[in-house]
Structure 1
Amino acid sequence: MKKKLFTLALSSTVLLTGALAGCGGNNEETTPEASKPAAENSVKEPTKISLSTINYGAEAPANDNAIELEMEKRTNTKLDITYVPSNNYGDKFQVMLASGQIPDVLLTTWIYDAAVLNAIDSGAFWDLTPFLKDYPNIAKTYPKESIDNSKVDGKVYGLPRPRPLVGGAPFPMLRQDWLTKLGLEMPTTMDELYTVLKAFTEQDPDGNGKKDTYGFSSSVAEGWMDKLEFVEDVFNGYNGFYVNLPGEPTKVKDFEPATRDAILWLQKAYKEGVMAPDFAIMESTQVIDMMKQGKLGMMPSAMDSKVLGEILQTLSTIAPDAALEHVPTLVSPATGEKYAIKEGGFFGNYLISKKVPEEKVKKILEFFDYGATPEGMELANFGLKDVHFTETDGVKVVNEEFTKLAGKALSNIWTNVDPYSRIVPAPGYPTAYFERDKKVIAERIENGVYINNSGVSSETDTKVGPEIGKKIQDMKIKVIMGKEPIESWDKLVETMKKDANLNKILVEREASYKELFGAK
């Protein structure tokens, strides 16, 4: 990568995973190890690996806890793990880089942060690309997108912590029992969705003889539409404010005709009382409360079994037959194709210090390769069976012993790669929902759209982007609420297209995109 990339990179405001200075980096060279049976490996000297990772909990696992010892036994390693509290990551990471005391393995939550990119550019970390073909479990278990979407200049500098590809972004979740009562089908287009939401508003779906329900509501934020963003995303067929594609100039989604149509869709919903009138000042928790109270027919929601279960537990006390269901996909008016938001599939990457000898790099990758097996994922995420967890009908439940040793922190090392992790059993979440929601996930994976602009940045955007976003957002809200006509939106768009700062952002982002992804 050329040095000029980093004059365009964002300031290091994103929290990074880091390590304490002098965190016990241990780069002793050891005898190379191939994948061998545990019995044969047991007679070899264990490979010492220093590793720094994140800890979201109040307590960190003690050294040599039972789960860690088992991880070492199965991989013939001796681990020196530093758990850095999540609220100290940024500071500790900077200290670690400045001191040069880098452990063998280091987790960063955002590989595209300027500090990480500079470290990669200066040769601080291994390019893992040529090694990965020799580690079949990583290739088999990690989604290809998790690796591809976190590359830098087309190369793999960090093993990703995989995350599900779909289900984390807000998308319509509606009252399925109201659909049934009113004789309606699951909507597949924005027009059909509007018809359903209007019926939820006007046809007394709760049967109390009062007009006291709304089709939907949501929360918005300063500078963007927050959970209502799905409307613009569906209309356009992609998400994001700025969008970079190979061979094309940077696109501003808000300047597209489809965004104008999305604003009119929301304006109509507000005018006809289909959307709750206080949407512009509501908090996310208030929207959830309205759903619990049976006042809403739909809310934009992630596929989160805990949230769904929590809503249903309360809602069922006033509506025993209440049922909630996620809309799988909606056809985009702009593309004519089914659409759902697809995500990057990673949250952070493990980097290997270039101070580590090549043979030890291979042993570290063996360590992570075992962690990508079903056995490895079970161990790090649940512990030892009948010691730290029990299993009934395929459902694993950790016990107090697992909690006592702060075992959850170990799951950040060997991630449980599961496309259905967001819909695991939770209080109030009906068992029957699981198989149904798995089909929703499958449909979203098949039809979801993800445009990889990870790390694409602009120095000017860092300075003036929030101001631009607020100006655009304020006009959207005014038009939706009828305080300004749609022509005011048109005028703003034409004005913003000529804005010097905005055009500078577009030029800088395009240059950044080309540097990161080698796009011509």
Structure 2
Amino acid sequence: MGEKYSNALSRPLKMLTVLALTAALSGSFIGTVQADRSPWEYEAASMTKYGPPTSVYFDNLNIYVGRQPINHKGTVMVQAEPLLKSLGYQVTWDVTEKKLTAEQAGKVSLTFWAQRTEAEIDGQSVHTLPAAPFVHEDQLWIPLRFTAQSCGLAVTWTAKGSFVSVRDPNAQIHLRVGTQADNENTGQPSALIQYMKENWETNVQINLTSPKDFSNKTKVKIAAGDMDSLMLLGDAYEFRDDLLESIALDLSESLQSYPSLKELTDASNIAVRKIGGKVYGIPRPSDLNDAPFPALRQDWIDTLGSKQPVTMDEMFNLLKQFVNKDPDGNGKGNTIGMYGYVNANNLGSLAWVEHTFTGSPERFSISESGTVVDHALSKGQRQALEWLTRAYAQGLINKDFATIDPETAMEGVKKKNVGLAVLKFDEAAKLTLDKQGSWTPLSGLKASSNAPEIAPWNSAGGGMYIVSRMAKVDAVKVLEWLDRGIEMSETGKWAEIEGLKEGDRSAIQNLFGRNDLLKSNALLNDLAPETQKLYKEAATRWHNISYKGQTLPEANLLWSQGQHTEFIHKLNDMKIKVIMGKVSLSEWDEYVKKMASSEDYKTMIRDFNKLIHSK
């Protein structure tokens, strides 16, 4: 493993707690955090006249440099004797000439003089040094870059993080990657790691995290100062500008060498973070139709002699049949029409009903004139609540929808007595393959016969990769690794690699994304032919529907800072009360009318319009 000296990047961040990070995200940015004292702090005090301390990271090199390196007038200086001895040199010191000589069999010899800006390599005088070596407390300090490069090592200065990386250019690159395991497969892809080691000359550590834990674990990594070199953020707009700039490298210049990655960051339909024109992340490729959406028990539909609904009236009637006509044939009358849950900010797995009636996959959208539209004030929102109220009153929705979380809801679906569940494409396929019902994604749904069809939509996409400021690998090398993996995914070349197992191919999808639900989908290929046909028809139909340019993923910047969340929570609570019959629709009308006329609400709308104009 590499040796790290005075990591000025990680020490301040290690002082952050998850609570402190949360405070930063909610509007109280941490700013400069006092760090624990480093082992070099007391020694560094005597070195201040020469320059401030700096960080040096030796990648996979067993190097010792003695005291903390310093930045002396723009040149990183280190103690000569411990560095050169770590590199295998015999070191001699001529007191009279104040000359240090370093020799090693089969290697170049090096000679330095105190207070002289010239050096010798193999006895030949070389160009002027960037800074003259100096003696402090009987130790000669010499320029790190010149010395390391003379020994055949590669030296990289990262201005953003103010640290130096030293590595053997002929050795393998060490890379740590963290991503979300969308398919819940968090096992280590051993064959994939070995393939990359042998063929890409990269020793990669892959950290796969389940979706339910991903956001919290990401924050813990940031708070602990233990970030991956290449790290996925589930939402490009989860963190404030100042916090993101403090943890992620500006990739604008590096991306010029990778047109495919740059194209991803320039795509108008994908959530990507740019601050002041600088690019701080790369979207993980995804199919924007890959979002939770109603799926139906096709086996129940077949048993009842029915068909997939097209309108919301037909959907209502089908759910009534699911509840009242014993579609599972067990005679217990315990079937549930639809199983759902709600979130603090929205109706969760019931939000598809709002989507159907409002025509928008999210509460806030962007009008053709470029202003924000709040669908909570629309006629469609009222129609959605009316439909849900009737469904709840007639027992078509699980009675505990307001109190359960997504994990509990999924466990309820797996009991196999539910007719409609809100699932992602692959989730429906997996339940079907696991014989937990025969699930088919719904397509062609509309509010009424003359209304437009809707389709699932994920405005956040597949998340955004950042190159951490704590990465000890050149950003170009990180981007090269990512570009290569994505290119192989998009061209289908991964399928040609022998020896990769199911877990490896699962990891490939989690790492490099998938821009088409139907492409390289192992779950889809394992379905029965007639079921596979229904899935392909649904995805193909979804692909004809787009909400590009209509959604506002940037709104999460406001939510993450705690802005206007009181409005969101109160409105959501009101919706739930309406659905459960505790508040009438007339009272809903009065509530939203009063809300829309308040100054706080008008401020929120102004803030949204500012976000739109800043895009």
Fold similarity call, TM over 0.5:
yes
Structure 2 residue 237 is the aligned partner of structure 1 residue 112: yes
Q: Is the 8 A contact 2:340 2:409 kept in 1?
A: yes
SS where residue 279 of structure 1 aligns? coil
Alpha-carbon distance in 1 for matches of 2:319, 2:582: 23
Question: Residue 60 and residue 172 in structure 1: after superposition, are their counterparts in 2 closer, same or farther (change >3 A)?
Answer: closer
Alignment of 1:64-463 (within 5 A): 67-68=192-193, 70-71=195-196, 74-75=199-200, 89-93=218-222, 107-115=232-240, 120=245, 124-127=249-252, 131=256, 135=259, 148-152=270-274, 156-169=279-292, 171-207=293-329, 211-245=333-367, 247-284=369-406, 287-288=409-410, 291-293=413-415, 295-305=417-427, 308-309=430-431, 313-315=435-437, 323-332=438-447, 336-344=451-459, 345-351=461-467, 365-374=479-488, 385-386=498-499, 388-389=500-501, 397-398=502-503, 414-415=512-513, 419-420=517-518, 424-425=522-523, 430=528, 432-450=530-548, 451-456=550-555, 462-463=561-562
Conserved 8 A contact 1:309-1:426: no
Q: Counterpart in 2 of 1:476?
A: 575
In structure 2, the residue corresponding to 1:196 is in which secondary structure?
helix
Distance 1:332 1:204 in 2: 27
Contact 1:219 1:281 in 2 (8 A): yes
Q: Distance in 2 between matches of 1:377 and 1:272?
A: 50
Counterpart secondary structure, 2:523: coil
Q: Give how far 1:442 is off.
A: 2.0
SS in 2 for 1:346: coil
Which amino acid letter does the alignment assign opposite residue 159 of structure 1? I
- Equivalent residues of 2:228, 2:471 under 8 A apart: no
Could you give the per-residue CA deviations for residues 117-168 of structure 1, whole angstroms, max 9, x where no partner exists? 5655999513159726x645x589x698597431526765422222332233
Q: Which amino acid aligns with 2:439?
A: L
Equivalent residue letter for 2:545: N
Secondary structure in 2 matching 1:162: coil
State the alpha-carbon separation in 2 of the partners of residues 82 and 181 from structure 1.
Answer: 45
Contact 1:67–1:383 (Cα < 8 Å) also in 2: no
**What one-letter code is carried by the residue in structure 1 that aligns with 2:361?**
N
- Residue 132 of structure 2: aligned partner: none
Question: Does residue 12 of the first structure (1) align with residue 25 of the second (2)?
Answer: yes
- Which letter does structure 2 place at the counterpart of 1:336? A
Which residue in the other structure is 1:4 paired with? none
SS for the counterpart of 2:553 is coil
Distance in 1 (CA, whole Å) between partners of 2:551 and 2:242 is 17
CA contact (8 A) 2:285 2:512 kept: no
Instruction: Check whether the contact 1:312–1:429 (CA below 8 A) recurs between aligned residues.
Output: no
Give, in angstroms, the shift of residue 340 of structure 1: 1.1
The letter for the 1-side match of 2:466 is: Y
Distance 2:281 2:590 in 1: 45
Going from structure 1 to structure 2, the CA distance change for 1:281 and 1:311 (only over 3 Å counts) comes to farther
Do 2:320 and 2:396's aligned partners in 1 also have CA atoms closer than 8 Å?
yes
Which stretch of the first structure deviates more once superposed, 435-444 or 306-315? Answer: 306-315
TM superposition score normalised by structure 2: 0.59
Identity of aligned residues (%): 20
Quote how far apart the aligned CAs of 1:255 are.
Answer: 1.4
Offset at 1:263? 0.3
Alignment partners' CA distance in 1, 2:477 and 2:526: 44
- SS of structure 1 residue aligned to 2:464: strand
SS at match of 1:446: coil
**Offset, 1:472:** 1.8
Contact 1:50 1:105 in 2 (8 A): no
Distance in 1 (alpha carbons) for counterparts of 2:470 and 2:418: 55
| Structure 2 match to 1:498 | 597
SS in 2 for 1:325: strand
* Higher-Rg member (1/2): 2
The offset of 1:202, in angstroms, is 3.5
Higher helix share: 1
CA distance in 1 between partners of 2:515 and 2:203 (Å): 22
1:199-229 Cα distance to aligned partner (Å, 9 max, x none) = 3333443456675434323222344211001
Ranked by relative contact order (alpha carbons within 8 Å, sequence separation 6 or more), the top structure is 1
Give distance in 2, aligned partners of 1:92 and 1:278: 35
Gaps (5+ residues) in structure 1? 1-9, 15-20, 31-43, 316-322, 390-396
For the 8 Å contact 1:147–1:159, the answer to whether it is kept is no
Aligned residues: CA RMSD: 4.9
For residues 175-195 of structure 1, the C-alpha deviation after alignment (integer angstroms, 9 at most, x for no partner) is 223323333221122122122
Partner SS, residue 288 of structure 2? coil
